[in-house]
Structure 1
Amino acid sequence: MLGLSVAALTGYLAAIVVLMITPGPDMMFVLANATRYGARSGVVAALGVAAGEAVHVAAVVGGLATLISASPVLFTAIRWAGAAYLIVLGIRAARHRDPVTATGPDHGASPGRAFLRGLATNLLNPKMILFSVAFLPQFVDPGAGNATAQLVLLGALFVAVQLAVDVTLGAGAGRLARRLADRRWSRRINRVCAVAFVALGVRLALG
């Protein structure tokens, strides 16, 4: 497989599995969507997050991510945009009274909206840019063939593992939330999601 050894690929997969099960903005967003709007919304949000990571991988392959990470002004602008976005999501979560049982077109549960929010959550996290630049190239073996092809393969594996983990979490959390759905549980979900998003936004803003 492009000259990469089985041991190297096994080590890489083990590393990204550990990274994927570590809570972060992407996982929190998927879980929040699943618990507030159901399993379908959680799965679609996971697809949006995976699409965002695919963009990061493409940026690494094209060299764009290196340029962004080397520009303090651009990197800071992305960081603040991401922080503001998460805080806005937290405020909106706090303002919704009963999202799990709500009906109607404007309660954030549409697949398109869940996908776009998942995409934005990932793209506006500058730490994903740094991570992609610092992590993926470590596993490239110059003696194993085309470096660009190796980066594409490693990036594709990363996105696949991330998608598998997030889809599993989103589907499971959504089903659990539906079984426990009542007004008190819904309000608690709102409060937890609101606090989590605002905390993640503040953490991102502070770097």
Structure 2
Amino acid sequence: MIDQATLFTYVAILFGFVLIPGPAVIFTLAQASRSGTKVGVSTGFGIAAGDLVHTAMAVFGLSAIIQTSALAFTIVKIVGATYLLYLGIKAMFTKVETIELAGGKAVTAKQAFRQGAIAEITNPKTAMFFLAFLPQFVKPENGSAALQLTTLGVLFVLIGMGSTLLVAFSAGAMSRFLQRNQFVMRWQGKVVGCIYCALGVRLAFQEK
């Protein structure tokens, strides 16, 4: 079972992610703005379904590595932390373009769910993120690694889905806010980048 300190840290980081408008939030917001709340909600469920697939793949893949070798899993964690550092530095220095939420073709709820799920499942960056992110919070002394990974993954999906559903229901107000306050999008990359880098540094100090 995951210890309380690790779980608290993990959940706090997740809330840090969901409070910052990322790709899933912007996609849900665009769908809801164009086609209504129902479509936005379906988009959120589709994204969550895609994240569940990534969670399952991460659990099976990482569990196999752990069963093979504790050293191999440590290497995976270090490589993952390095990848998060790379993402963090890249996010802090990448220029974010002004978002455009207007326009586009309206879709049905069924189409929105399918689009959200397919976009999330087929995104290799999402797969890499799960493989890099989840192992940072797995500790051998906390018992079954597979159970820890599953718990972490499901929490990620639930909190992320809560975020996208909130966006779907408040799409109008949030869309107007982001259009008036473009600095939010300009700074979100820097904030997310800092979170990624902090995770990488956290592991570096943890290993010492």
Question: Which TM bucket (shorter chain)?
Answer: 0.5 to 0.7
Do the aligned residues in 2 keep the contact of 1:46 with 1:118 (CA within 8 Å)?
A: yes
Match of 1:114 among 112, 115, 132: 112
Matched AA of 2:14 = I
TM-score, structure 2 length as denominator?
0.61
C-alpha contact (below 8 Å) 2:167/2:174 kept by paired residues = no
What RMSD, in angstroms, separates the aligned Cα atoms of the two structures?
A: 2.8
TM-score under structure 1 normalisation? Answer: 0.62
- Corresponding letter in the other structure for 2:34: R
Separation of aligned partners in 2, 1:119 and 1:174: 23
Task: State how far apart, in whole Å, the 2-side matches of 1:119 and 1:175 are.
Answer: 25
Q: CA deviation at 1:174?
A: 5.0
Judging changes above 3 Å, is the alpha-carbon distance between structure 1 residues 37 and 113 closer, same or farther for their aligned structure 2 residues? same
Identify if the C-alpha distance between structure 1 residues 112 and 56 changes in structure 2 by more than 3 Å, giving closer, same or farther. same
User: How far, CA to CA, are the matches of 2:132 and 2:109 in structure 1?
Assistant: 33
Distance of aligned partners of 1:6 and 1:175 in 2 relative to their CA distance in 1, 3 Å threshold: same
Q: Give me the whole-angstrom Cα distance separating, in 2, the residues matched to 1:22 and 1:125.
A: 20
Structure 2 stretches lacking a partner, 5+ long:
66-101, 180-208
Q: Does 1:12 align with 2:10?
A: yes
Q: Which runs of 5+ in 1 are unaligned?
A: 68-92, 100-106, 181-188, 190-207
Shift of the 141–176 alpha-carbon distance from structure 1 to 2, 3 Å rule, reads closer
CA distance in 2, matches of 1:22, 1:124: 23
Residue aligning to 1:136: 134
Moved over 3 A (4+): 174-177
Q: Percent same amino acid among aligned pairs? A: 37
Secondary structure of the residue aligned to 2:7 is helix
Q: Give the total of aligned pairs.
A: 142
Counterparts in 2 of 1:37 and 1:59: CA distance versus 1, 3 Å: same
